[in-house]
Structure 1
């Protein structure tokens, strides 16, 4: 029976929109039928003119399912009028006019033909998921329209996306069309999980309860494959009715099992599908009236600081939770059990963050370089890739050989991009082929791309040593599978990895491998993929990676004694990340095969322990010092710079100051303070001017002991001209002659307030305060008693004689009766004795 879908109501408007313009946005709520109706509805429009329509689906399962449903509408099978292209599976023919593709496939198609001359339209379905390759595909398509194909039509479709920014991105005049969905009411029940109860146990209990309370099939959302398998075990060990069948659904499952999970339940039976977010949109699971949602999703979080990614489990967004709930209302009223509270619901984010803001951007940077773009700013994005993550991605690609120093694609980088794997693995595969290890590298690459192969329960005992897992795969391949596969994963995962390995091996060319792998091959090949994760053992048994990151291995791990290893995966937690997968590497192998990573470095630096300049020649890979030797005669200019650096570190007190040179330094500071045109020779630290003055005197010196030979007075005066020396003596004199005839030293230790400490009796007859700096700066006079103790401090000598002297005189005359204390100090004879001669 034909059922009219809500999307049919807006098809005339959609057709007219694309007759009038080339871009548009369709917001069609869940259940509207956009995925299965729109491509066929537009296929016979005149502007298609016999060309193809490409529809982008974010997930492989959704792409295959959509193509099959579209083909079924025409009474055909996928591969005829409607076909699909996904990784490791393609069904198209000469008759294919609608191609449903995954995001990475669209990127490949655009790279191979930037104009897509045989394509009339690209449809971006479920764009609200905002996967990295979806954003990239749209950016490249917009660039293709701008530069080559102004007639290329673009349609963005979504259930939940805000159309305003998308319309703005697609260009002026872009319109959006809204279509309501066909959903039935869904009752939402909040069933918070007790904190102490494991997720899988509580989910299984809720599933059992819901099956007893409700009718129809059930869709259960869990964060990942591990939780799915544990929940399935709980259910099968429980008391499920015999007519209830449990199915798993996640991205890395075999195609046959995925198809079985989404197929309608047999008559008289009920189905429970345990799924990741793969079933959140695009898929139609017939018969589902119940949803149980754990409220969690798993994503890869990338750290530009460490260059590592790690899987994180996060609460879903409100938009995702609503999408999941809606799966229960497609065919009839339904019920959604949420395993969290209403309070938690209120705190959920409105929508998930776009992947481009938190992902590893190395694949994106390589794609843009192949496209001919060095900066993301040259293209149009809904969210521009973050600068830090993009810069880190370009740095990695330079290490891998994919980019040159200017950020342009290299011939090697173009070859990397043809393999369709992460740039790390592409670099490894190509370099392995050059060494005759292509088959081994293909196995290793397939394993590294397989999450189940990394963390399967069957791999217990393999530890972190990646060699054991590769050997298990090789054994499975040569023996036709079975028991050896248990060390890697289940049989389905092994079949998938072997298929991937064969495809990668085929992409590297038909030549036979002339080299037989040995126990060092795995670490060697990993160093090509992870040049930033080559680890060197430290004294405490931990490892320092070439990126500068610290990592650790349990002491019980056999690899913990290796001098060098390569960490393929680490958890990126804490100061020292825990290594999850690695392989050892011999130093000699590293030196022979890692020539492109090795850097010779001459380091001439101040050693604070020996207080001297030490020179070393180092062979480095990033932060790792592979070899080091002393240099007897380092370059003199580097010695000088290191010595000056040492003076900066030690402070100016390491220089051989005398009383005379310190006073000279203080006089120069005084002049610079009051006469800014004077050089800034002396501050708390080594100034550029002082360093310049020191330089001629440091020849042949390499230590703090050598510095003792310096004459700081010669250093300071050596940089002054004859005129400056004259000005120094005139405006910052070392001594001032006072009325008694004595020459009293000026104290410049506080350059903003120079002082003169003199006995009061030697100043009789001096009415005005002495001044320096051409009369601009009065001295602070410290008037002393006969015992050289201060009795008064003043910068106004005339006022002292007039207002204060007589009080001071009374005190001093009582304590020093034999000394001369005249009634009129301005007419008295100054003396440096107890009394003037003749008194």
Structure 2
């Protein structure tokens, strides 16, 4: 009996608070009866007779199930007192007092009538799931109640949520707590820690068979997703007795097949393999054993890449309690957890809300339609600013909002189509196969084990199946195909235009940031117009396509794998985005090739559609590019340049700083005029920068430099002998006979030049920094050695008084 449900213990208090405060928060565990008993009870209270009671459920399956249970309780058919509405399906009439809807339906109701005319109460059931539309719907309802409808009553119900935060959000709404009606459930952990990749496979199969043998009732098995359910169902088929029925239960499953899993069976036992759709709102008859993989698949959106990743993650502790509680709804039960007790602590307390990790494009479109600033909305969790900014950029690409982020006429039309704005764009444009295309893009892959990622192949396969002319029906996933065809039929009702665009162009208009060009090389790697990378399977027939549009990627942050795409021609791209294609001429230094590259490019976003060599860029662009190259390459000073720099350094503070650091910092001033014709690293290495370096000094400074730190020493014979400045002292190397008669030591910048005396054969004899002392002291020993080795040459006894010569004795005579 309905009156035996625990919720009736607090029902009077709840109604009183709703009447007085117009809002309330109810905390009630599964089995309390909140989803069905409260709406029915409110219909019988005069305070709620001024309009419908809207009940929000997080999933389509829960909508139908909750509405059916209420109608059954009243002994009425669906659509009378209690009805429901989901996308593409409705069972309501003028007499309907309770309407159970999905959260997206509520958003549409609000956008079409911001006063919610004819509605007395909005109930948010299972709010702890924190869907994006639930958060947004509550924010809209709170604003409506504050500004337009003071009489609107709002009730938030949750089984696991930290409700104090919700109460505060609702202006300190009263909190009513209800104890649940559940039986004891015995938890059974694994003896040892289990790695995540070991759970879905042999382990879960073994545990299911163990639980089946150890217990008498039916089993509910929680798995991460649809693929794991289908695979495990196939495995169990030959491992369980004939009187044991294995039923799948997931969101995309046909409703009649979902009902098979939920309804009691007449004989035997059943094993229900379910995703998290079975965590809340559903009562599955006969279940006393739960097997929990501890895993769930979540779609994680990355604002940087603009892509979703489907990630298998650990569930939260709150979700684990929900799952475990399923075994104790009707009788005492047992829960087999596929992790060890020591691993319990690694589970987060609560799962993240959708607003934290979802694509916010639909959210942003609703905000633009609402016309409210995000800062003014009562949201339990604020959206990430970058993610919201990226969402608005997508809407701008689709023409849904203007530069001021205000809704456009096009945006209003998109919002009326119950699809992601990208896919709604395809329906709005229209054209042949537009509805079928969007339906395929909204669902799972209809093909089994095919190499091609081509979306056109999927369209052709479904059309052939529809005509019963398909020769490859074995590769089709028939349940998926039927679901796609049904959705396409529904979406065709929204087609108002008929364009002549190709499939490739329709996809490109929905995903302009994912138009991609093949990179050079053997591997089928692509660069997208948003600057991200993608890779195609090596055996994909489209691997050589020069241009594609990516419509489904795996979201890998390094290089996403292409799942579905369509080839597109350059002419098709230009026809669509000709006004957005930029003609750019670039002249830049290539760090990889170490040379200047000058190109004439046509770009769409960050994608280079066409590129040609620019043969005559202006000299100033070439110079600027080479200056960047110099920064990468550094200086390769010639010997002459090194000597000049050393002379300047030795000359002292009267001259500019010509360190490499200073020269690099000021290169655009002194070097640029001399870089004509220098275009590569090889050219730069051959470049003699002496003339450019000398330009840093004026005429007077050059003359002073020559005086203080001369480039040459003039020998007694009048010859120029180059002075080197690489070492601590300036140096010259000269034949000893050429210095006869030199009595003062040569100087540079006030420092004695180190003289290296050479023999007639050019070999080093001795060095000195005091030539007068050398003549007076060391020369006698040198003379003695040299006379023996070079008897034909002149070796005077008094060199300081002798005449310099380069000749032998005979020639001197």
The TM-score normalised by the length of structure 1 is 0.78
1:564 to 535, 540, 547: 547
| TM-fit CA distance, 1:373 | 5.1
User: Which has the larger displacement, 6-15 or 583-592?
Assistant: 583-592
The answer as to whether partners of 1:428 and 1:441 remain within 8 angstroms in 2 is yes
The answer as to whether partners of 2:641 and 2:688 remain within 8 angstroms in 1 is no
| TM-fit CA distance, 1:462 | 6.0
| TM-fit CA distance, 1:59 | 0.8
Q: Map of 1:332-731 to 2, 5 A cutoff?
A: 332-372=331-371, 376-431=374-429, 433=430, 436-437=431-432, 440-451=433-444, 453-454=445-446, 459-461=448-450, 463-479=452-468, 486-490=474-478, 492-509=479-496, 521-537=502-518, 538-546=520-528, 547-573=530-556, 575-595=558-578, 598-607=581-590, 613-634=596-617, 638-639=621-622, 641-653=624-636, 658=641, 662=645, 684=661, 690-692=667-669, 697=673, 703=679, 711-713=691-693, 715-716=695-696
Alpha-carbon distance between aligned partners in 2 of 1:655 and 1:419, rounded to the nearest angstrom? 71
Alpha-carbon distance between aligned partners in 1 of 2:541 and 2:15, rounded to the nearest angstrom? 65
User: Which has the larger displacement, 97-106 or 644-653?
Assistant: 644-653
The corresponding residue for 1:774 is none
| TM-fit CA distance, 1:640 | 5.1
SS where residue 181 of structure 1 aligns? coil
The answer as to whether partners of 2:641 and 2:690 remain within 8 angstroms in 1 is no
| TM-fit CA distance, 1:298 | 1.4
Deviations 1:764-804 (A, max 9, x none): xxxxxxxxxxxxxxx9x97887779xxxxxxxxxxxxxxxx
SS where residue 550 of structure 2 aligns? strand
The corresponding residue for 1:735 is 708
SS where residue 17 of structure 2 aligns? helix
User: Which has the larger displacement, 178-187 or 43-52?
Assistant: 43-52
Alpha-carbon distance between aligned partners in 2 of 1:66 and 1:56, rounded to the nearest angstrom? 10
The answer as to whether partners of 1:121 and 1:153 remain within 8 angstroms in 2 is yes
SS where residue 25 of structure 2 aligns? strand
SS where residue 120 of structure 1 aligns? strand
| TM-fit CA distance, 1:204 | 4.2
Deviations 1:81-130 (A, max 9, x none): 32222122222222223222212222222222333243333222111112
| TM-fit CA distance, 1:620 | 2.1
Pick closer, same or farther for the CA change 1:656–1:476 going to 2, 3 Å. Answer: farther
Q: Map of 1:85-100 to 2, 5 A cutoff?
A: 85-100=85-100
The answer as to whether partners of 2:775 and 2:800 remain within 8 angstroms in 1 is no
Deviations 1:344-390 (A, max 9, x none): 3332222222222222222222222333357x445342222223333
The answer as to whether partners of 1:6 and 1:32 remain within 8 angstroms in 2 is yes
Pick closer, same or farther for the CA change 1:289–1:403 going to 2, 3 Å. Answer: same
Alpha-carbon distance between aligned partners in 2 of 1:165 and 1:665, rounded to the nearest angstrom? 73
**Structure 1: any 5+ residue segments left out of the alignment?**
673-677, 738-744, 764-778, 789-808, 821-832
The answer as to whether partners of 1:819 and 1:834 remain within 8 angstroms in 2 is no
RMSD, matched Cα: 4.5
Pick closer, same or farther for the CA change 1:286–1:716 going to 2, 3 Å. Answer: same
The answer as to whether partners of 2:54 and 2:123 remain within 8 angstroms in 1 is yes
The answer as to whether partners of 1:200 and 1:234 remain within 8 angstroms in 2 is no
SS where residue 661 of structure 2 aligns? coil
Q: Is 2:280 the counterpart of 1:281?
A: yes
Pick closer, same or farther for the CA change 1:607–1:231 going to 2, 3 Å. Answer: closer
Alpha-carbon distance between aligned partners in 2 of 1:62 and 1:733, rounded to the nearest angstrom? 95
The corresponding residue for 1:675 is none
Pick closer, same or farther for the CA change 1:607–1:579 going to 2, 3 Å. Answer: closer
Pick closer, same or farther for the CA change 1:101–1:690 going to 2, 3 Å. Answer: same
| TM-fit CA distance, 1:324 | 0.6
Pick closer, same or farther for the CA change 1:757–1:541 going to 2, 3 Å. Answer: closer
The answer as to whether partners of 1:216 and 1:289 remain within 8 angstroms in 2 is yes
Alpha-carbon distance between aligned partners in 2 of 1:22 and 1:717, rounded to the nearest angstrom? 85
The corresponding residue for 1:259 is 259
Deviations 1:196-242 (A, max 9, x none): 97835544443344333323332221222222222222333234142
| TM-fit CA distance, 1:694 | 5.8
| TM-fit CA distance, 1:472 | 1.8
SS where residue 349 of structure 1 aligns? coil
User: Which has the larger displacement, 571-580 or 312-321?
Assistant: 571-580
| TM-fit CA distance, 1:577 | 3.4
The answer as to whether partners of 2:627 and 2:667 remain within 8 angstroms in 1 is no
Alpha-carbon distance between aligned partners in 2 of 1:683 and 1:15, rounded to the nearest angstrom? 82
User: Which has the larger displacement, 609-618 or 652-661?
Assistant: 652-661
Q: Is 2:295 the counterpart of 1:296?
A: yes
Q: Is 2:42 the counterpart of 1:62?
A: no
| TM-fit CA distance, 1:609 | 8.2
Q: Is 2:138 the counterpart of 1:138?
A: yes
SS where residue 339 of structure 1 aligns? strand
SS where residue 136 of structure 2 aligns? helix
Alpha-carbon distance between aligned partners in 1 of 2:458 and 2:405, rounded to the nearest angstrom? 36
The answer as to whether partners of 2:626 and 2:675 remain within 8 angstroms in 1 is no
| TM-fit CA distance, 1:326 | 0.3
| TM-fit CA distance, 1:162 | 0.7
| TM-fit CA distance, 1:499 | 1.7
Q: Is 2:207 the counterpart of 1:224?
A: no
Deviations 1:561-591 (A, max 9, x none): 3222223223344744332222222333333
SS where residue 80 of structure 1 aligns? coil
| TM-fit CA distance, 1:146 | 4.6
The answer as to whether partners of 1:223 and 1:296 remain within 8 angstroms in 2 is yes
The answer as to whether partners of 2:29 and 2:180 remain within 8 angstroms in 1 is yes
SS where residue 555 of structure 1 aligns? coil
| TM-fit CA distance, 1:615 | 2.9
The TM-score normalised by the length of structure 2 is 0.80
Alpha-carbon distance between aligned partners in 1 of 2:647 and 2:152, rounded to the nearest angstrom? 79
| TM-fit CA distance, 1:45 | 5.2
Alpha-carbon distance between aligned partners in 1 of 2:596 and 2:404, rounded to the nearest angstrom? 35
SS where residue 627 of structure 1 aligns? strand
